[in-house]
Structure formats: structure tokens, C-alpha cells
Amino acid sequence: MAAVMIERHWANLRARFTHRITNAGAQAVHDQSQPAKQRARGFRSREHFRIAIYIHGGRLDLYPASTAAES
């Protein structure tokens, strides 16, 4: 059973070990976008969704400087 699966995916396995390229970067971006998507429960436009991903992924401090310095 395992031999059949390896044989079926042999070209992909060989490419992975030859080029050392994975989809880990794309998966990391996807993982960061999911919390923003879940909190929003839908966006009116793709642009708003993209901005929410940047805000969540960048961990921006959105408080004014005076408020952040006082606490």
C-alpha cells in the first residue's frame, strides 16, 4: 500500500528533495489570515479583507502615542 502511494507521488517527492522548495511560506500567510477572517465574519470587499490581514499580521499598535505612553 505504501509502495503504491510512493510510486504514485514519486515525481513530487523527487522534486522536493532536489529543489528544497515547500509551500510553507504560503501556508504561513494563510494561517495568519484565518483569525482576521473569523473575526470579521465576511467583508464587503477584498480590499477590506486584505487590510484586516495586514493589521492582524503586522501586530500594529493602533493606540495614539499619548495613550500608550501613559499606561
> How far is residue 41's CA from residue 10's CA, in Å, rounded to a whole number?
40
pLDDT (tens digit per residue) in 7-37:
999 998 888 889 888 888 888 888 877 877 7
C-alpha cell belonging to residue 65: 502615542
Please say whether the beta carbons of 54 and 33 come within 8 A.
Answer: no
Q: Give the per-residue pLDDT at 67.
A: 56
CA quadruple 46, 48, 51, 56: dihedral, nearest 10: -100
Give the residue, 6 or 22, on which the prediction is more confident: 6
Question: Can you give the pTM of this predicted structure?
Answer: 0.43
> How far is residue 33's CA from residue 44's CA, in Å, rounded to a whole number?
16
